[in-house]
Structure formats: C-alpha cells, structure tokens
A = this chain, B = another copy of it.
C-alpha cells in the first residue's frame, strides 16, 4: 500500500470523552470515528485490523470443522418469544417494527435463529455433530456504552453453535472449540488466559471465558501459578482458611458505641480485623411470606453474590430493608450477629467463618458487639457455604499451591448449553432407534471488535499503539527520507517496496512527503510493529535503518540483507 493512496488521519489529542487508553489511542490513530453513542465507523486503518482478526478466526474455525454461514441481523420476534428471551432480555435487546407493525429484534446473538435453521434442516443422528458459525454485526443497546470498542452498542462478533446427539458429544465439540480458541488467541500474539466461568443467565452446564491480560481489565482472573487452575472471580472456589481452633475466650458483650463497621470495631477493641465477622442480612420472599437469612463473612473478605444465589433457598434473595432488620434482629444495621436474633434467622457462614473461633460479631443490640464468640457453644452451628471472592494467597481448589489474581478483558466465551434452547424450540433429531431426542448444544463467541481495544490495553506506550505482527494494520512502514529530492532514495524505495511485497510482507510505503518526525510519529501512534528508514546518508554506506516498535534504537542493516532480515523478524 502507498500511504498517498490510503487514508491516514491522526490527532495530537484524544477527544475528551475517551476515558481509557485504547479508546484514546484508536481515536488519535484515526482507526475509529464516533457516529453516535457506542456506534463507530471503522476507518480504513481500523478495518484492516478487524479483517486480520476475522481471518485468523475464520481459518481456525474452519480448521476445527466449523461451517460458516450468515444469519440475518433482523430477526422475527416470534423466534425470540419461543425461548422467552423476547421478554427476559429487557431494553438491551433492540426491537424494531416493520411497515406492517410486525416486531423484530436486531440480533445481539443468534441462538434462536441457528436453532430454527437446525430444527428444519437436521433430521438424523447421521448429520451430527455439526457446528455452524458466522461473523456478523451485532447490536446491544447498552445502558451506558463507553470505552470505545470495549463496550459499544454496534459491534462485530463471531458466534458459533455446535449440535450433538448426547452430552459426551457436546463436551467433545466444546473441547474442540476450546482448543481452537487457544490457537486463535495464540495466533493474535496476545497474552491471554482461559478461566472457568459461571454460566450466568444463558443457562447450561459449563463455560470458560478467554481474557486478554491487561492491568486495566474490568475482570479479576484467579489462577494458580503452580497448576492449571484458572477461573474468573465469580466462579473461583474459595476454600476455608485454616482449621477451627478450640474456644479459649468467654463470650463477652462489649460496648462499641457508633462503631458500625468492622474496621472501626477492630480499631476500638485492638483486635485484628481477621478475627471479626461481618453480617449481611438477606430476605427471601415467597408468595408473600418472608424468610430471613444472615450471611457471615470474615471482615476482610468480599461477598460474591453469584455464589450466594447458589445457596439452597437463596436463588431469589435480596438485601433486607432496615425495617426488616429491626424486626428480625431487634437492632439497626451495624450491630447484627448470629447470637440471639429476635426472630428465627437462617445463619449461613462462609467456609472461613465456620472455621473461626473466639471471633468478634454484632450483639444484635445497639452499640454492642460480642468478643470471644464460638460456634456450637454460643450459637448453633451454621449452614456452611462458599460465599466470598477468593483473595491472593488463598489455597488453590486443586490443592496444588496458592492463588494469584490478575486483571483481564473478556474477549471470548465458550458455553455448554445442553438442551435449554433445543427443548424450548423443539429442535430434535432422530436417534439410531428412530426416536426423536433434543439436540445438545454448545455456543462459542468471540468479540471481534473488542479484540482491538483489548490488544491495545495490553500493548501500548507513550508514543501510541504497539500491534502484534499478526493483527497490525500493516506489518511494516517503509519510510523514505526526502523522496522528492533524492533519486537514489526514490529508486531504492521502489525496489525495496516491490521486494517486500513479493516476500509477502504487508508493507505501507510512506510517500506523503512528510518530515521525518511527523512521519515516524504517525506510524508509532498507529502502532505498525516494524519500520525501515531509507536515507541518502545510509544508502551511501550501503545501509538501511530498521527499528522495531519496542526497540530503543535503530539497527543498521546492509541494503541487500534487509528483505531476509525482515522475513526473519516476521517469521516468514
């Protein structure tokens, strides 16, 4: 590509609404242009990255035996009503009426349509397994679109859907996709981690997220450096810390006036925070009847609401109101505890709390806490459950070391859906005995446009973006110095440009006639990973200058060696 025939438009300053670095750099590099809230035009430089990302995904999906098709954007409401998602999805699902008043969804995902295709096209177990995918524009009417391509409303997603005859087959298809995703993210040249995830609203029996590692990531990833264990914070199991010791203190009611926070009580009593228990009051309403639950966490731990919702009886919990708390515990929030509640309360202790002895907790009395509290002696043994987020240093659930935590950006997700959709939509096949059975489904998404944001959050410096080779808009910028006044430079530029193209290098030659500083600043901002400078002085000594985007300084390379040198750098 010749820069003079391409469109390059860089900015010194990012617009003020760009809050994170990837958004700022993509705007400054002229890769995207805002059309509306969460809606962007992909400018030529940005589109080149998207296409490279798409092509890697396509190649690996095809290699894994998935078959590409293309499902429509505008999908009839009737299909979404069959699975109940028309009502469940709320305003995030963009809805539209046609001229006849018929309702449609603009697809945020395509489970319904692919299941509709399959229920009419697949008849027999002989046609299974099959995996259909497409790479398509999606729309989600996010409440608060932000961060550029990271949380846009219109975006590109690759979504694949596998269909199998039984659970074993589905798990095999799932493993195949897991491996394909691992190859895809490896080929992108990004540091990533696959973590076990909670299945959430989509239902089903197992799932993993693929995250690009970045300190600015929204998600906390838990992993064990000594083993394969990895899960997102929602799903990572927290084991008990330590073993329960014997009771050594008497239960004592202590005055803690105005101290409603554990930290304040710890300071007042001069007892380390790890000996305090935090109480969280929940209410579950069922047919107008209220049940009260008290969750107990070690004071320095954080509640994990997803885990709470999995405790028996707590699927539909809510936090208690102050009035409910006064009714159940006889006091106001800040002084609650498991000992001597006013009404019967089901006490659920986190595993770590269940192992504590001589702990501090609220006394269910205004301005009082207990010290020296012990299970079995001062109150009944609680229900024990995993209620908290893990923290760095927790034992790994696989028993092979301790956990570490890093930040990530979710860019892929694989799910075992089971028969949730196929049963709702009557998608069956005839098994070997000729009997209809529901299809076992898996679904597999990659946020194509989000990859761009995530890649930048992981790879940038104060000059701009640093693309990995595989997804860079161009692999190499060829920068001639004084193209218009040096015949020697011009000739060598054309020669090298032709040779690099012939060697399969995705090269852009900067023939715009800019000063070196402006030229270099553009390519550094845009993040082209390799640069070759052609100058008269160097040429007279038979040399060109090479500089990698992360290199501190340039390297002098003999003219005749440059193509081989670049091929070596690019692994071609």
A71 partner residues in chain B, CB cutoff 8 A = 35, 41
Taken together as a complex, chains A and B put the C-alpha atoms of A10 and B424 apart, in Å, by: 27
A141 partner residues in chain B, CB cutoff 8 A = 98-99
Contact of A44 with B by CB under 8 A: yes
B117 pairs with A72, CB closer than 8 A: no
* Interface of chain A residues 110 through 126 with chain B (CB within 8 A): 113, 116-117, 120-121
A121 pairs with B91, CB closer than 8 A: no
Most chain B Cβ neighbours within 10 Å, of A39, A75, A143: A39
Contact of A147 with B by CB under 8 A: no
A69 pairs with B41, CB closer than 8 A: yes
A41 partner residues in chain B, CB cutoff 8 A = 69-72, 113, 117
Number of interface residues of A (CB under 8 A): 49
* Cross-chain contact of A94 among B70, B98, B121 (Cβ < 8 A): B98
Contact of A6 with B by CB under 8 A: yes
Contact of A33 with B by CB under 8 A: yes
Proximity bits, A86-120, B CB within 8 Å = 1, else 0: 00000110111011001010100000010011001
- From known contacts A70-B42, A154-B72, infer whether A99 and B106 are also in contact, taking CB-CB under 8 Å: no
Taken together as a complex, chains A and B put the C-alpha atoms of A102 and B143 apart, in Å, by: 13
Contact of A47 with B by CB under 8 A: yes
Taken together as a complex, chains A and B put the C-alpha atoms of A44 and B66 apart, in Å, by: 11
A96 pairs with B99, CB closer than 8 A: no
* Interface of chain A residues 29 through 43 with chain B (CB within 8 A): 33, 35-36, 39-43
- From known contacts A47-B68, A99-B91, infer whether A74 and B139 are also in contact, taking CB-CB under 8 Å: yes
**Closest-CB distance, A246 to chain B (whole angstroms):** 58
**Closest-CB distance, A111 to chain B (whole angstroms):** 14
Taken together as a complex, chains A and B put the C-alpha atoms of A36 and B92 apart, in Å, by: 22
* Chain B, residue nearest A104 (CB): B36
Proximity bits, A140-159, B CB within 8 Å = 1, else 0: 01010000000001100000
* Cross-chain contact of A106 among B70, B74, B113 (Cβ < 8 A): B74
Contact of A67 with B by CB under 8 A: yes
B35 pairs with A143, CB closer than 8 A: no
- From known contacts A141-B98, A143-B99, infer whether A44 and B67 are also in contact, taking CB-CB under 8 Å: yes
* Chain B, residue nearest A7 (CB): B67
**Closest-CB distance, A12 to chain B (whole angstroms):** 15
A73 pairs with B139, CB closer than 8 A: yes
B72 pairs with A35, CB closer than 8 A: yes
* Chain B, residue nearest A75 (CB): B35
* Interface of chain A residues 1 through 56 with chain B (CB within 8 A): 5-7, 9, 33, 35-36, 39-44, 47, 50
Taken together as a complex, chains A and B put the C-alpha atoms of A106 and B47 apart, in Å, by: 20
Contact of A76 with B by CB under 8 A: yes
A44 partner residues in chain B, CB cutoff 8 A = 67-69, 132
**Closest-CB distance, A139 to chain B (whole angstroms):** 6
Taken together as a complex, chains A and B put the C-alpha atoms of A117 and B104 apart, in Å, by: 29
* Cross-chain contact of A137 among B7, B76, B137, B153 (Cβ < 8 A): B137
* Chain B, residue nearest A76 (CB): B36
Contact of A130 with B by CB under 8 A: yes
Contact of A65 with B by CB under 8 A: yes
Taken together as a complex, chains A and B put the C-alpha atoms of A76 and B403 apart, in Å, by: 47
A91 partner residues in chain B, CB cutoff 8 A = 99
**Closest-CB distance, A290 to chain B (whole angstroms):** 33
* Cross-chain contact of A42 among B40, B69, B96, B120 (Cβ < 8 A): B69
* Cross-chain contact of A72 among B40, B75, B76, B116 (Cβ < 8 A): B40
B106 pairs with A39, CB closer than 8 A: no
Taken together as a complex, chains A and B put the C-alpha atoms of A5 and B43 apart, in Å, by: 36
Chain A to chain B contacts (Cβ below 8 Å), 25 pairs: A7-B121, A9-B121, A33-B117, A33-B120, A35-B72, A35-B75, A35-B113, A36-B74, A41-B69, A41-B70, A41-B72, A41-B113, A43-B69, A47-B70, A73-B137, A74-B94, A74-B153, A74-B154, A91-B99, A94-B98, A98-B153, A99-B141, A99-B143, A106-B106, A137-B137
The 5 A-B residue pairs with the shortest CB-CB distance in the complex, in nearest-first order = A91-B99, A42-B70, A96-B96, A36-B76, A39-B72
Residues of A in contact with B (beta carbons under 8 Å apart) = 5-7, 9, 33, 35-36, 39-44, 47, 50, 65, 67-76, 91-92, 94-96, 98-99, 102, 104, 106, 113, 116-117, 120-121, 130, 132, 137, 139, 141, 143, 153-154
